[in-house]
Amino acid sequence: MSGAEPVGAHGAGPGPGALLELEVGPVAHGGHCVARHEGRVVFVRHALPGERVRARVTEAGAEASFWRADAVEVLEASPDRVEPACPVAGPGLCGGCDWQHASPQAQRRLKTAVLHEQMQRLAGLDVDAPVEEVAVPASAGTSPQDAARGLGWRTRVAYAVDGAGRLGFRAHREHRVVPVERCPIATPGVVDLGLPQRRWAGWQSVEAVVPGAADDALVVASRRPDRTTGRGAPRLPAVPAGASVATTTSRGPRQPPGPVTRVRGRTWVREEVRGRSFRVTGAGFWQVHPGAAEVLTDAVLEALAPQPGEAALDLYSGAGLLTAALADAVGESGRVTAVEGDARAVADARRNLHGTPGAEVVHGPVQRVLEGRAAATEEGPAQPVDVVVLDPPRTGARAGVVAAVAALRPRAVAYVACDPAALARDVATFAGHGYELRTLRAFDLFPSTHHLEAVALLEPRA
């Protein structure tokens, strides 16, 4: 706290670095709590409801509708507060773990409160959906003690690289990289690779993927577009002999990376779910909690109850996890159409679903594919759709996709969401098209962070 000016120094209002003494109020979406200073809302990280803290202002302005701050000293602690397991899980440091200072039970209560608040405020619904604990499978190698603390669950870890070639994670709302030696929420398989102990000069990011057995580990190093060939190409440090190694090229924010190039071993990993094997190339999308794929598949099937002979749509289908489950449920007399915009995921899905009766994979943006399907029905009879799975990115499905899905008039829609605000907005949009929320389940698949996963069932209004 040395060097920080008190609020009101030199007659000015608080700016970045100023200290505020705050009474912390309720939790808010995004990994912080709400406090007030002279009537203005302050979003405070590293605090808990009911605490009194001294917080350093990180973002402020005379015209700003709210400020941001970081709790640097706890004056009165919550009984839910625990000592973080990670030395960089604190003010001004790693932006990844929002709630490592709260007990796992308290974390789930906080997430439940956020889900309830978002659904009430954005969808006008009162929901009773306590966030459920998800066990870390024994195959992950995590000790029972760490699992009980919400540690050792992440099978995929994406590191940023700082100017000295050290691996780390971005600070909250900053591009600054905070170096790490070990990430406590990573599985032992990821930790044992020892990637932060090596220097990655010239690389932009490094992802470790260890789905289960250590011999199925994959390391994907991403370089900047200007560091690709010849004398500008960076060198790879030594990686444990049992791991596969591949490289790719970053294409900028919100852009898919370039092709994955094999250096050693394979460019993909194998995931096992419900007796079926799935191939996932490079650092392609797959749930990062080792229990997530099975838990979410079970929740979707329970919600939809797909029947033999039915027709299903799996939108934002990725590598085909839920497509396969739907295909098994509807049987050879049914059909499942998977729609995915990422070419690499489509290639994986076609391999994973090869030989699966009634399964088709369509490559293209979901909204465009649905609109094309609607246009085709104007020239001939529409193929009925009985059930739909929506598993969109964090931004949600949005109004265009929701309208297109509702226009198909399926008997049931299972919406898999990783952001409660996006889910609530889309549920409200569905309501405008005659669909209402029937059930909602939520799962703590990202312990120590503010993230959760939810499965909502929407059905036509009676």
Strand 167-170 versus strand 177-179 pairing type? antiparallel
Nearest to 449 by CA among 191, 157, 208: 157
Q: Could you tell me if 255 and 297 lie in one domain?
A: no
* Domain end marker among 25, 59, 81: 81
Looking at this protein, which amino acid is placed at residue 132?
A: E
- Does 332 belong to an annotated binding site? no
Between CA 163 and CA 182 the distance in angstroms is 19
- Does 316 belong to an annotated binding site? yes
Looking at this protein, which amino acid is placed at residue 360?
A: E
Q: Could you tell me if 257 and 349 lie in one domain?
A: no
Domain assignment of residue 238, yes or no: yes
Q: Could you tell me if 435 and 329 lie in one domain?
A: yes
Q: Could you tell me if 262 and 193 lie in one domain?
A: yes
Domain count, the chain: 3
Q: Could you tell me if 417 and 314 lie in one domain?
A: yes
Q: Could you tell me if 414 and 319 lie in one domain?
A: yes
Please answer whether residues 174 and 142 qualify as being in contact, where contact means their C-beta atoms are separated by less than 8 angstroms: no
Domain assignment of residue 127, yes or no: no
b/e sequence 296-334, b meaning 16+ C-beta within 10 Å: bbebbbebbebeeebbbbbbbbbbbbbbbbbbbbbeeeb
Domain assignment of residue 210, yes or no: yes
Domain assignment of residue 3, yes or no: no
- In the sheet that holds 244-249, the strands lie side by side as 177-179, 167-170, 156-161, 203-209, 218-223, 244-249, 261-264
Domain assignment of residue 204, yes or no: yes
b/e sequence 60-89, b meaning 16+ C-beta within 10 Å: beeeeeebbbbbbebeeebebbbebbbebb
Please answer whether residues 330 and 291 qualify as being in contact, where contact means their C-beta atoms are separated by less than 8 angstroms: no
CB atoms within 10 A of CB 173: 11
- Does 307 belong to an annotated binding site? no
pLDDT at 227 (0 to 100):
61
* Domain end marker among 81, 105, 140: 81
Q: Identify the H or E element spanning 43.
A: strand 40-45
Please answer whether residues 222 and 248 qualify as being in contact, where contact means their C-beta atoms are separated by less than 8 angstroms: yes
pLDDT at 213 (0 to 100):
55
Q: What is residue 86's DSSP assignment?
A: S
* Domain end marker among 34, 60, 81: 81
Residues in the chain: 462
pLDDT at 6 (0 to 100):
45
Q: Identify the H or E element spanning 146.
A: helix 144-148
pLDDT at 349 (0 to 100):
98
Domain assignment of residue 120, yes or no: no
pLDDT at 8 (0 to 100):
41
Q: Could you tell me if 454 and 397 lie in one domain?
A: yes
Q: Could you tell me if 375 and 441 lie in one domain?
A: yes
Q: Identify the H or E element spanning 314.
A: strand 311-315
| Beta partners for residue 361, in sequence order | 338
pLDDT at 356 (0 to 100):
96
Looking at this protein, which amino acid is placed at residue 427?
A: V
Domain of residue 187, residue span: 152-266
CA 293 to chain centre: 13
pLDDT at 42 (0 to 100):
98
Q: Could you tell me if 370 and 450 lie in one domain?
A: yes
Q: Could you tell me if 169 and 30 lie in one domain?
A: no
User: For the chain, which ranges sit under pLDDT 50?
Assistant: 1-12
Place of tokens 């497509």: 323
Q: Output the domain CATH number for residue 339.
A: 3.40.50.150
Q: Output the domain CATH number for residue 61.
A: 2.40.50.140
pLDDT tens readout for residues 314-323:
999 999 999 9
Q: Could you tell me if 339 and 195 lie in one domain?
A: no
pLDDT tens readout for residues 183-207:
999 999 999 999 999 999 999 999 9
Q: Output the domain CATH number for residue 204.
A: 2.40.50.1070
Active site residues: 418
pLDDT tens readout for residues 252-275:
666 677 889 999 999 999 999 999
- Does 207 belong to an annotated binding site? no
Domain assignment of residue 126, yes or no: no
Q: Could you tell me if 450 and 307 lie in one domain?
A: yes
Domain assignment of residue 201, yes or no: yes
Looking at this protein, which amino acid is placed at residue 84?
A: P
